[in-house]
Amino acid sequence: MAFPPLDSPQWQSPWRAFAWGLRSITQTILTLVLFATYLGIGALAHDTHFSLLWALCSTLFVWAGPAQIILITTLGSGATVIQSAIAVTVSAIRLFPMVVSVLPLMRTPTTKRRELFFAAHLTAVTLWVECHRFLPQVPRERRIAFVNGLGFGLVSVCLTANTVGYFLAANLTKTLGAAILLLTPLSFLFSTARNSREAADVVALALGVLLYPLAAKMNSGLDILVSGLVAGTIAYGVHWWREVRA
Amino acid sequence: MSFAQLIGDWHALFVLFVAGVIPNQIWRMLGLWFGGGIDEGSELLVWVRAVATAILAGVIAQIVVEPPGALASVPDVLRYGAVGAGLVVFLLTRRSIFAGVVAGEVFMLAGTWWLG
């Protein structure tokens, strides 16, 4: 799909720009990965005894896959509201630098902060990656409309996937239901590994996986937080050793 | 499945907002309000990102080690094997997420079928 040239009259209407954003979801393999991930989240919600409305609200209002599976898994295994909230908020801190780095791509001197509200809400790793790829081809004054269209399309795909996954988990044989649940750990493991550029990221991912079973043996109810804090801090130590000390 | 089951109870939705939506959304809104002047490469953010990655890794491990629902019916060796097989293919295909996921799924399904 080729976008119209930057000075084309096609970009004059914000709704046209929204439609181009919506159409661009067909231009990326990440849409397929998101679909598989949210299929898994729908199935996970079903098998952890959450309602479909709950799953859809979590996609619409949280809109961050890692936070959603952390929330479902911790609440489902009996963590308190406070423990889940802490795990979710730590996983969400990464959204702060993402929003900070992506919004300047859409801002013009006259842009008001409230116009960026939806773009900020829609910011998550997929949108962040795609903005860097697509936005240079979109005139600056139409970028907010374009991003809203792109985000609207991605959210719609994920809500559909949640619904399909939820009903598949309810109706499929045990084996196929298990296959859909397995989508979540696989897609998150590989997409996180793919996004790992520094040694610290790889160490955090590998140690985080390996330390969890040890932390779970302590049965403190804080397993995820303990293993995350220890593995993450060791990974930071590796980063410090390589970069700062060097 | 009844309509009431699909809606669920209001308490669970309340917990979703308190434990999920607010703790997550607060960071985006902070980014929107205090956007300028943050150094993306600051050491604090590197540490935060490492801890966040490790927490997500822990959740991935939890789903495989203490599986929910239907996944619990799959023997340990097949669940761990599926992750291992997926990882090998992911690395061999120059980090293709798609190939890794498909390989893991095929391993688990083939294993379940083979074990009967």
Per-residue confidence (pLDDT) for residue B51, from 0 to 100:
85
Kindly provide the b/e burial profile for residues A200-223, where b requires at least 16 CB atoms within 10 angstroms of the residue's own CB: bbbbbbbbbbebbbebbeeeeebb
pLDDT over threshold 70, residue A3: yes
Burial of A198 (0-12, 13-18, 19+ CB in 10 A): middle
* Range of weakest confidence among A14-23, A65-74, A159-168: A65-74
- For residue A139, give the amino acid letter: P
CB contact at 8 A, A51 and A171: no
- How far is it, in rounded angstroms, from Cα B89 to Cα B79? 16
- Could you give the angle at the alpha carbon of B50 between the alpha carbons of B46 and B51, nearest 5°? 120
Q: Residue A39: what residue type?
A: L
CB contact under 8 A, B35 and A99: yes
If you average pLDDT over residues A138-146, what whole number do you get? 95
Band (A95; pLDDT cuts 50, 70, 90):
confident
Rounded to an integer, the average pLDDT of A155-183 is: 93
Q: State CA A96 to chain mean position distance.
A: 13
Burial (CB < 10 A; 0-12, 13-18, 19+), residue A173, is exposed
- Between positions 78 and 137 of A, the ones with CB within 8 A of B are 81-82, 84-101, 103-104, 113, 116-117, 120-121, 123
Is the minimum CB–CB distance between B81 and chain A shorter than 8 Å? Answer: no
Cβ–Cβ gap A208/B57 under 8 Å: yes
**Chain B residues with beta carbon closer than 8 angstroms to that of A225:** 55
Q: How many CA atoms lie within 13 A of B20 on its CB side?
A: 29
Residue B107 has pLDDT above 60, yes or no: yes
Cα separations in angstroms, A67 against A95, A112, A146, B59: 11, 29, 26, 10
Between CA A80 and CA A115 the distance in angstroms is: 36
> CB–CB of B58 and A215 under 8 A?
yes
What is the distance between the alpha carbons of residues B88 and B18, in angstroms, rounded to a whole number? 39
Closest CA of chain B from A157, distance in Å: 17
B58-101 per-position pLDDT tens digit: 989 988 998 888 899 999 999 999 999 999 999 999 999 889 99
Neighbouring residues of A116: CB distance < 8 A, sequence distance ≥ 6? A103, A106, A107, A144, B32
User: How many C-beta atoms surround the C-beta of residue A232 within 10 A?
Assistant: 28
For residue B36, what pLDDT is reported?
56
Q: Quick one: pLDDT at residue B8? A: 85
Residue of B14, B18, B32 to mutate, testing the A interface (most A Cβ within 10 Å of its Cβ) = B32
Instruction: Average the pLDDT over A115-141 and give the result.
Output: 90
Its pTM stands at: 0.84
> How many residues belong to chain B?
116
**Residue B28 pLDDT more than 80?**
yes
Rounded Cα distance between A220 and A218, Å, is 6
Q: Over the stretch A33-90, which tens digit does the pLDDT of each residue have?
A: 899 889 999 999 999 999 999 999 999 999 998 899 889 999 998 889 999 999 899 8
Specify the higher pLDDT residue, A220 or B12: B12
CB contacts of B19 in chain A (<8 Å) are 71, 75, 81-82, 84-85, 88
Which single residue is written with the structure tokens 């890692």? A66
